[in-house]
Amino acid sequence: MTINKAACIGGGVIGAGWIARLVLNGIDVTVFDPDPEAGRKVGEVMENARRAYRQMSPGGLPEEGRISHAATLAEAVTDADFIQESVPERPDLKHRVLAEIDAHAQKDALVGSSTSGIKPTDMASAMTRHPERLVVGHPFNPVYLLPLVEVVGGEKTSAVFIDRAKALYASIGMKPVVVRKEIEAFVGDRLLEAMWREALWLIKDGICTVGELDDIMRYSFGLRWAQMGMFQVYRIAGGEAGMRHFMAQFGPCLAWPWTKLTDVPEFNEELVDLIATQSDEQSGAYSIRELEHIRDDNLVAILGALGKHDGGRGWGAGELHNEYVRRFSQPDDDR
Amino acid sequence: MTINKAACIGGGVIGAGWIARLVLNGIDVTVFDPDPEAGRKVGEVMENARRAYRQMSPGGLPEEGRISHAATLAEAVTDADFIQESVPERPDLKHRVLAEIDAHAQKDALVGSSTSGIKPTDMASAMTRHPERLVVGHPFNPVYLLPLVEVVGGEKTSAVFIDRAKALYASIGMKPVVVRKEIEAFVGDRLLEAMWREALWLIKDGICTVGELDDIMRYSFGLRWAQMGMFQVYRIAGGEAGMRHFMAQFGPCLAWPWTKLTDVPEFNEELVDLIATQSDEQSGAYSIRELEHIRDDNLVAILGALGKHDGGRGWGAGELHNEYVRRFSQPDDDR
């Protein structure tokens, strides 16, 4: 199952990332974003994405899909079989946009929402015609490189559209993981939020700076998690005795005062200042564009490195990466 | 400043990782571990480490240091200038071991503790002679590959020994980060604990399996964190508007019900069973030894990939990795 014609509603960082992934997979995309700067912003993300894909496929890239900007949302979605919504994270706005998509889209078009945390059942309440086709399809930035998409259905989502979502996201090189029960923030952002809160405490309390905290992550467990998640890592840490041993050893720590669990740091001007200032010290020497290039170069290199595992079979994201890259080196008519 | 003679107290997964790193850097190590299996266990970790280092330095490795097993702790530490303690995480045991190290070690020997969370001031209370030389030197598994070491001083630790710790850890290819204030679990394990608790809830509540959770990590933010920490990643997510914009956008989410913050999952038999069973489903096809090899191959590949950044200058852990690997390809007398 492949995407014939895509519509992207919202052309911010995430929306533009979707557009780039789709277009580089040869799919025509119609964009609706009322921001007069949307065309420029999408163009900038496209440049980053082309730059990264050229590194992945030095032999050249297949013909790109076309990007067109629609004057109205209705015009953008009307002939699309895949619609991805990436508007800002405000429930009222999500409702308004999804109601309009629902009113104008073909009834068998998949409607994916990029929300990081709003439940699909809540969002589907705005769709009176065909709520069964709404899924959360939550990606990670940069969408054109990171393969994960969390697929979450709501009470009204049909199994047919969950399956379709898995197939369509996979068809553009992604790794769909279906979340089994609908909760706010799903799985990825639950984990990120937990760590982010703890990080804010560490900065606020002066235990470390943002640069030091980042170094602590990227010289240690960050390297582990590019290839194995925490449970597999801990299984190894348990040694021959395995997971049970690990949990027996570290389980009791849960009750120790090792996190500031029961409280949330006040998000005041002072904390924002502290973090913004330290962030400037850490990264101020680079423009955001330069940082994006560094990030993308490293992601392509890491995916490539993981792809070399086991004589080129690849491991985890590297195995998927190999398949994805192979596709680009095939003549267009084979795809 | 380099290490002439090292003593490692404890030869478990972490202790053996230290031994491997030291020995592969040409340093003689005396080990004390009352476990009759210690020799075998250390030998197995050494095999893994040699395997990984051969991949890093295909041109061959310099001469290894010698490993000797001491019959008593006193014998192990008496002529060492670098002592690393890696005994199980029990305060009473740490106290007993550190008191004995203190009684027998040279007064200017650095005493590093591998504890994941106990405060150095607490541990130093057991040292009546020279508590000023105790630092936490908290590494990450596998110690022979992951460069980070969190350096934490207590109330009695002298600045001289903090500096010495930084120099000595750096001399064996590590990235020392000094934690500014002493708190339980320091920085790395605070972050890990926060995410681990949230993960336990997600498994317990049936939102996902351990395999799905691991996939969600390693196909998305895990790939990001191998090269940039969360603050630098979020700076980029903020786009041209930067860190302030990012925080304005996502700050309010902190107050949303996006984590199970205020509670800790009960660590009962049922939860242990659930996780152990799912872990078997995820990884049961591999032995722990195979998983270690896969992990190490991937870590070497990722470090190598990050080392290629910017025409071979390297980025983050990759830059450090380049320096480290260069050392191995030099003749012994240059080191």
pLDDT tens for each residue of B11-69: 999 999 999 999 999 999 999 999 999 999 999 999 999 999 999 888 889 899 999 99
Asked if residue B333 is part of any domain, the answer here is no
Asked if residue A183 is part of any domain, the answer here is no
- For residues B305-320, give the mean pLDDT: 92
Does any CB of chain A come closer than 8 Å to the CB of residue B93? no
For residues A167 and A18, state if they share a domain: yes
Among B178, B200, B226, where does a domain finish? Answer: B178
Whether A246 has a pLDDT exceeding 80, the answer reads no
Edge-to-edge strands, sheet with B175-178: B67-69, B28-32, B5-9, B82-85, B110-113, B134-139, B148-153, B175-178
Asked whether the beta carbons of residue B148 and residue A216 sit closer than 8 angstroms, the reply is yes
- Distances in Å between the alpha carbon of A180 and those of A65, B120, B207, B276? 34, 43, 5, 19
For residues A104 and A209, state if they share a domain: no
Higher pLDDT, A241 or B55: B55
Among A129, A144, A178, where does a domain finish? Answer: A178
- Residue A178 is inside which H or E element, if any? strand A175-178
The string of pLDDT tens digits covering residues B66-95 is 999 999 999 999 999 999 999 998 999 999
Whether A241 has a pLDDT exceeding 70, the answer reads no
Q: Which residues of B touch A146 (CB under 8 A)?
A: 219-220, 223-224
The string of pLDDT tens digits covering residues B141-199 is 999 999 999 999 999 999 999 999 999 999 999 999 999 999 999 999 999 988 988 88
Asked if residue B222 is part of any domain, the answer here is yes
Query: For residue B226, which phi and psi values (nearest 5 degrees)?
Result: -70, -15
What is the C-alpha to C-alpha distance for residues A61 and A78, in angstroms, rounded to an integer?
Answer: 29
For residues B33 and B115, state if they share a domain: yes
- For residues B317-328, give the mean pLDDT: 89
Asked if residue B334 is part of any domain, the answer here is no
In chain B, which residue's Cα lies nearest the Cα of A140?
B220
Structure tokens at B114: 């591998």
Residues 6+ apart with CB under 8 A from A190: A183, B198, B201, B202, B258, B259
**Is residue A204 exposed (0-12), middle (13-18) or buried (19+ Cβ within 10 Å)?**
middle
Closest listed residue to residue B68, CA positions, set B104, B28, B40, B37: B28
The domain total for chain B is: 2
Task: Convert chain B into a string of H (helix), E (strand) and C (coil).
Answer: CCCCEEEEECCCHHHHHHHHHHHHCCCEEEEECCCCCHHHHHHHHHHHHHHHHHHHCCCCCCCCCCEEECCCHHHHHCCCCEEEECCCCCHHHHHHHHHHHHHHCCCCCEEEECCCCCCHHHHHCCCCCCHHHEEEEEECCCCCCCCEEEEEECCCCCHHHHHHHHHHHHHCCCEEEECCCCCCCCCHHHHHHHHHHHHHHHHHCCCCCHHHHHHHHHCCHHHHHCCCCHHHHHHHHCHHHHHHHHHHHHHHHHHCCCCCCCCCCCCCHHHHHHHHHHHHHHHCCCCHHHHHHHHHHHHHHHHHHHHCHHHHCCCCHHHHHHHHHHHHCCCHHHC
Residue B289 belongs to what domain range? Answer: 188-328
Does ipTM come in above 0.90?
yes
Instruction: Count Cα atoms within 13 angstroms, Cβ side, for B212.
Output: 19
For residues A35 and A140, state if they share a domain: yes
DSSP string, A54-66: HHH-TT--PPPPP
Does any CB of chain B come closer than 8 Å to the CB of residue A274? no
Asked whether the beta carbons of residue A301 and residue B317 sit closer than 8 angstroms, the reply is no
- pTM over the 0.95 mark: no
Structure tokens at B252: 């309010």
At residue B332, the pLDDT reads 52
Q: Which of A226, A282, A283 sits opposite B226 (nearest CB)?
A: A226
For residues B173 and B212, state if they share a domain: no
Whether B222 has a pLDDT exceeding 90, the answer reads yes
pLDDT > 90: percent of chain A: 68
For residues A135 and A40, state if they share a domain: yes
For residues A151 and A266, state if they share a domain: no
Closest listed residue to residue B220, CA positions, set A74, A225, A2: A225
Residue type, A165: A
For residues A215 and A174, state if they share a domain: no
- In whole numbers, what is the pLDDT of chain B averaged over residues? 90
At residue A334, the pLDDT reads 47
For residues B81 and B168, state if they share a domain: yes
Kindly report which listed range (A132-136, B189-193, B201-205, B328-332) carries the lowest average pLDDT score: B328-332
| pLDDT band for position B249 (cuts 50, 70, 90) | low
| pLDDT band for position B254 (cuts 50, 70, 90) | low
For residues B197 and B171, state if they share a domain: no
Asked if residue A335 is part of any domain, the answer here is no
DSSP string, A250-305: HGGGGGSS-S-TT------HHHHHHHHHHHHHHHTTS-HHHHHHHHHHHHHHHHHH
Does any CB of chain B come closer than 8 Å to the CB of residue A93? no
At residue B201, the pLDDT reads 85
Q: B99 near B128, Cβ under 8 Å? A: yes
At residue A335, the pLDDT reads 43
Closest listed residue to residue B116, CA positions, set B149, B98, B141, B89: B89
In chain B, which residue's Cα lies nearest the Cα of A317?
B219
Whether B335 has a pLDDT exceeding 50, the answer reads no
The string of pLDDT tens digits covering residues A39-66 is 999 999 999 999 999 998 888 898 999 9
At residue A167, the pLDDT reads 97
Residues 6+ apart with CB under 8 A from B169: B112, B137, B149, B151, B176
Give the domain CATH number at B12: 3.40.50.720
Kindly report which listed range (A95-109, A167-181, A266-280, A321-335) carries the lowest average pLDDT score: A321-335
At residue B267, the pLDDT reads 63
For residues B13 and B140, state if they share a domain: yes
Closest listed residue to residue B216, CA positions, set A166, A320, A231, A188: A188
Give the domain CATH number at B211: 1.10.1040.10
- Select from B190, B223, B230 the residue whose CB has the most chain A CBs within 10 Å, as the one to mutate to test that interface: B223
Asked if residue A252 is part of any domain, the answer here is yes
For residues A226 and A324, state if they share a domain: yes
Kindly report which listed range (B71-80, B257-266, B295-304, B311-320) carries the lowest average pLDDT score: B257-266
- For residues A129-140, give the mean pLDDT: 98
Asked if residue B335 is part of any domain, the answer here is no
- For residues B219-225, give the mean pLDDT: 94
| pLDDT band for position B288 (cuts 50, 70, 90) | confident
What is the C-alpha to C-alpha distance for residues A120 and A138, in angstroms, rounded to an integer?
Answer: 11
Q: Which residues of A touch B224 (CB under 8 A)?
A: 140, 146, 222, 295, 299
Among B178, B199, B222, where does a domain finish? Answer: B178
- Pairing of β B28-32 and β B110-113: unpaired
At residue A251, the pLDDT reads 59
At residue A281, the pLDDT reads 85
- In whole numbers, what is the pLDDT of chain A averaged over residues? 90
At residue A275, the pLDDT reads 78
Size of interface A-B (CB pairs under 8 A): 428
Higher pLDDT, B133 or B285: B133
The string of pLDDT tens digits covering residues A66-89 is 999 999 999 999 999 999 999 998
Asked if residue B183 is part of any domain, the answer here is no
CA angle A293, A296, A299 (to 5 degrees): 150
Structure tokens at A187: 């799985």
- B:58-87 residues touching chain A, CB 8 A cutoff: none
- A:114-133 residues touching chain B, CB 8 A cutoff: 117
Query: According to the per-residue pLDDT averaged within each range, which of A252-261, B256-265, B314-323 is highest?
Result: B314-323
pLDDT > 70: percent of chain B: 91
Q: Which of B175, B279, B303 sits opposite A215 (nearest CB)?
A: B175
Q: Which of B117, B208, B318 sits opposite A179 (nearest CB)?
A: B208
- For residues A162-182, give the mean pLDDT: 97
Q: Which residues of B touch A279 (CB under 8 A)?
A: 231-232, 235, 242-243
Closest listed residue to residue B325, CA positions, set B64, B139, B54: B54
What is the C-alpha to C-alpha distance for residues B72 and B150, in angstroms, rounded to an integer?
Answer: 28
Q: Which residues of B touch A236 (CB under 8 A)?
A: 141, 288, 291-292, 295
Instruction: Count Cα atoms within 13 angstroms, Cβ side, for B183.
Output: 22
